[in-house]
A and B are shown apart, each in its own frame.
Chain A
Amino acid sequence: MALALLLLCVAAASLTVGAASTSVWQTMGDILAGREVSLRDRVVLWDIRVPRLIMGCLVGAGLAISGAIMQGLFRNPLADPGIVGVSAGASLGAVMAIVLGGMLPFAPLFGSWLVPASAFGGAWASTILLYRIATRQGRTSVATMLLAGIALTALTMALTGVLVYMADDTQLRDFSFWNLGSLAGASWSKLAVAAPMILLPVLLAPLLAPGLNALALGEAAAGHIGFRVERLKGTAILITAAATGAAVAASGGIGFVGIVVPHLLRLLSGPDHRYLLPNAALLGAILLVLADLVARVIIAPAELPIGIITALIGGPFFLWILLRQRGLAEL
């Protein structure tokens, strides 16, 4: 409840602040009252700030909930789509769609869904690969998981590099713009694709909560309690891949949201996934909208890529968890 109120406040602040000095509230009041509004004000509010705000909420919620589910799946608070190579897999998928999409005869059928769908495919494949590598007999080794993540990231980045090398000028421009990792490109048409791909996982995620709680005991024990573990894992991987894929396709590489948010929530309200998952979606949205706000004002009128802000917060945070965990339990 407190988180929902906080999200409203942050959203209001995000609408108010920006390069163009527009009185948002007056404009909004004018629109609601049916009064005449200047084209510039309408564009600033309706075509730039509102879609950007909604995209920020969606991407933040998607990344945070992906992180929370992956951590439950790997039974480790250090699992995060950005760190273990899943975002890199999604990037590879997105770049494949941008560069090679034109060559595929069926590509036009996908329309604007091509890039997100391909990013989803990349995220899905890399999560499954990672799980196969890092988990043996129901136990995940953190060292293997992180190292496999490094290897996966290196491999997918190399393949992405090859594709970029093959790309023509238009594709290169598309790619660079996307790769900046920013919410600046948010538009209603992009939202139409990203919204279902992120909202569906966010709404379905709480169904996984009892299973993820049981999985904390280990895979065998989760089975003994009565969960169909293989099905649970498969669903969890699909859901994270969809949310990560859509988030990466919409905004490029924004890291660390998936690790910071669930960890903060575990400190605040405990590890029970029934509360963790919905709250992660809310706090993820808050954090990303806030980071976007900082990115826009800190060197105004220019703006910093939002990925830099999240990495500045998330990097030290990650190290802190790593050091704390080392003392707590065997890795």
Chain B
Amino acid sequence: MLTAQNVSVSLARKPVLSTVSFTALPGEVTSIIGPSGAGKSTFLKALTGDLPFDGEIRLNDLSVRSALPAKLARIRAVLPQASPMAFPFTVLEVVRLGCPTPDRDRIAREAMAHVGLAGFAARPYQLLSGGEQQRVQLARVLAQVWEPVVKGMPRWLFLDEPVSSLDIGHQQQIMEIARIFAQRGGGVVMVMHDLNLTAMASDSIALLCRGELMIQGSPQTVLSENRLRQAFDCHLTVNKPPEAGVFVLPCLAS
């Protein structure tokens, strides 16, 4: 389980997050949404231990603040937003980087096939398109925590806007991968912009607004018309057809 209790973060002495408490369960996809500047990425950076924070964050009963990087790396992998590489590494070399086990080549190749990059092993990473690079990084992250559960302990994927530069087909594919990881017992925590994809793929949604947690709950609960209008400050309608999930549609004021 991932728990955050009263987490506050200040950047350059300016408070960005204040007293956010939050839970994510293994076996579920948990999404963090909110308007730009709400503190979503900052919160994810606190959850992965990349930013100093006040309060307490525990991942599988490990204190994120004090755990050694190597120990955390065994139970969670992090997909960053943008990932330029310094040198002309090949795709296979990049995917293998996070993979600790002796049969890293096999796992790396399986992870590449999983994200639809089976034939890309020898291609230079730097020459790929932005969307392809993002999928290579996803394969690297998947290879790091290839088995979602190890010795009864769940492993975790943290994804920072995993579908931001992808077309609709690949967006769907990434959401599918996140769902499968959770179904097999792992935990997924992701920062999302697209509310419909979020509604489709998430078990739990945390809505952040101005550095505070407005609500955390199921898509049905969190994605209400009034709350979204208030959080995003815009016109929209929410449709909840029976047995067909939640749809959020923007409307023009005129």
Residue of B nearest to A330 (CB): B84
Q: Does the CB pair B87–A217 fall under 8 Å?
A: no
The answer to whether A100 has its CB under 8 Å from any CB of chain B is no
Q: Does the CB pair A270–B85 fall under 8 Å?
A: no
Known interface pairs A221-B80, A225-B97. Does A216 touch B87 (Cβ–Cβ under 8 Å)?
yes
The answer to whether A314 has its CB under 8 Å from any CB of chain B is no
Contact string, B138-174, partner A, CB cutoff 8 A, digits 1/0?
A: 0000001000000000000000000000000000000
Contact string, B83-97, partner A, CB cutoff 8 A, digits 1/0?
A: 111111110011001
Given contacts A221-B80, A226-B74, 6 further A-B contacts (CB under 8 A): A213-B89, A214-B98, A218-B84, A220-B78, A224-B72, A224-B73
Contact string, B172-186, partner A, CB cutoff 8 A, digits 1/0?
A: 000000000000000
16 A-B pairs with C-beta separation under 8 A: A72-B86, A214-B97, A215-B86, A216-B89, A221-B80, A223-B49, A224-B69, A224-B76, A224-B77, A224-B98, A225-B98, A225-B144, A226-B72, A226-B73, A270-B90, A272-B93
Report which A residues bind B (CB closer than 8 A): 72, 75-77, 213-218, 220-221, 223-229, 266, 270-272, 328-330
Give Cα A221 to B137, complex, Å: 10
Q: Does the CB pair A77–B50 fall under 8 Å?
A: no
Q: Shortest beta-carbon distance, A78 to chain B, in Å?
A: 11
Q: Shortest beta-carbon distance, A326 to chain B, in Å?
A: 13
Quick one: which of A75, A272, A328 contacts B126, CB cutoff 8 A? A328
Known interface pairs A223-B50, A270-B93, A329-B126. Does A217 touch B83 (Cβ–Cβ under 8 Å)?
yes
Residue of B nearest to A140 (CB): B86
Known interface pairs A270-B90, A270-B93, A328-B126. Does A224 touch B78 (Cβ–Cβ under 8 Å)?
yes
Q: Does the CB pair B80–A220 fall under 8 Å?
A: yes
Contacts of A215 in B (CB 8 A): 86
Residue of A nearest to B45 (CB): A220
Give Cα A217 to B49, complex, Å: 17
Give Cα A330 to B85, complex, Å: 11
Q: Shortest beta-carbon distance, A190 to chain B, in Å?
A: 35
Known interface pairs A217-B97, A225-B98. Does A271 touch B69 (Cβ–Cβ under 8 Å)?
no
Give Cα A329 to B127, complex, Å: 9
Q: Shortest beta-carbon distance, B181 to chain A, in Å?
A: 17
The answer to whether B244 has its CB under 8 Å from any CB of chain A is no
Q: Does the CB pair B80–A226 fall under 8 Å?
A: no
Residue of B nearest to A215 (CB): B86
Give Cα A328 to B128, complex, Å: 11
Q: Does the CB pair B73–A218 fall under 8 Å?
A: no
Give Cα A165 to B144, complex, Å: 59
The 10 A-B residue pairs whose C-beta atoms are closest, nearest first, are A226-B73, A271-B87, A75-B86, A226-B70, A216-B86, A224-B78, A225-B98, A226-B69, A223-B69, A216-B87
Give Cα A304 to B83, complex, Å: 46
Known interface pairs A224-B73, A226-B74. Does A218 touch B80 (Cβ–Cβ under 8 Å)?
yes
Contacts of A227 in B (CB 8 A): 69-70
Q: Does the CB pair B68–A228 fall under 8 Å?
A: yes
Give Cα A214 to B94, complex, Å: 9
Q: Does the CB pair A213–B97 fall under 8 Å?
A: yes
Residue of A nearest to B50 (CB): A220
Q: Shortest beta-carbon distance, B246 to chain A, in Å?
A: 32
Q: Shortest beta-carbon distance, B122 to chain A, in Å?
A: 10
The answer to whether B60 has its CB under 8 Å from any CB of chain A is no
Give Cα A117 to B190, complex, Å: 51
Contacts of B83 in A (CB 8 A): 217-218, 221
Q: Does the CB pair B85–A217 fall under 8 Å?
A: yes
Contacts of A330 in B (CB 8 A): 84
Q: Shortest beta-carbon distance, B173 to chain A, in Å?
A: 22
Contacts of B88 in A (CB 8 A): 266, 270-271
Contact string, B50-72, partner A, CB cutoff 8 A, digits 1/0?
A: 10000000000000000011111
Give Cα A229 to B71, complex, Å: 14
Residue of A nearest to B73 (CB): A226
Which one of A215, A216, A225, A328 has the greatest number of beta carbons of chain B within 10 Å? A225
Q: Shortest beta-carbon distance, A72 to chain B, in Å?
A: 8
Known interface pairs A220-B50, A329-B126. Does A226 touch B100 (Cβ–Cβ under 8 Å)?
yes
Q: Does the CB pair B98–A271 fall under 8 Å?
A: no
Give Cα A227 to B97, complex, Å: 11
Which one of A76, A213, A228, A328 has the greatest number of beta carbons of chain B within 10 Å? A213
Q: Does the CB pair B78–A221 fall under 8 Å?
A: yes
Give Cα A243 to B77, complex, Å: 36
Give Cα A213 to B89, complex, Å: 9
Contacts of B126 in A (CB 8 A): 328-329
Give Cα A191 to B71, complex, Å: 43
Contacts of A220 in B (CB 8 A): 50, 78, 80
Give Cα A72 to B74, complex, Å: 24
Give Cα A220 to B45, complex, Å: 10
Q: Shortest beta-carbon distance, B188 to chain A, in Å?
A: 15
The answer to whether B42 has its CB under 8 Å from any CB of chain A is no
